Amino acid sequence: MTMVCELSHETTENREMGLFTRRHKAPDINSSEELLDLVASGRPVLVDFMKYGCQPCRVMDGIVNEVSEEFEGEAVVVKARLEQVPELFSKFKVRSTPTFILVTPRQGGLHQRWRHSGLVKKDVLVGNVRRAVEAVS
């Protein structure tokens, strides 16, 4: 017995139902200055420190994208890849991936409000970002 998987084609009906739509992705940051500019905007910034080939990072990727979409306009969610911004990993003393750091603006710089290394549930991320948004407002 052979099992065959049929591919469905995109139709107007599928598009109306929300199928085959492009998903929101949290952007990558490319420098320390870019992070400082984001924090200077006055909104909380959740940084996902990740590394290419890290399986837990891949697991968290979709969750981070969902959180980014949920807080669009209220907070900023970005990804920092070890290969692109090693100086940020040193600055924040990140020793393992994924590591999540939530920062908010503070007079003369930034304030680290929350930090977690490893897998984390979406509701924990959302709760911490929500509290930071309320504190900044």
- Write out the catalytic residue numbers: 54, 57
Q: What is the DSSP letter of 43?
A: S
Q: Which among 64, 74, 129 is positioned nearest to 103, based on CA atoms?
A: 129
Q: What is the CA radius of gyration of the chain?
A: 18
43, 101 contact by CB (below 8 A):
no
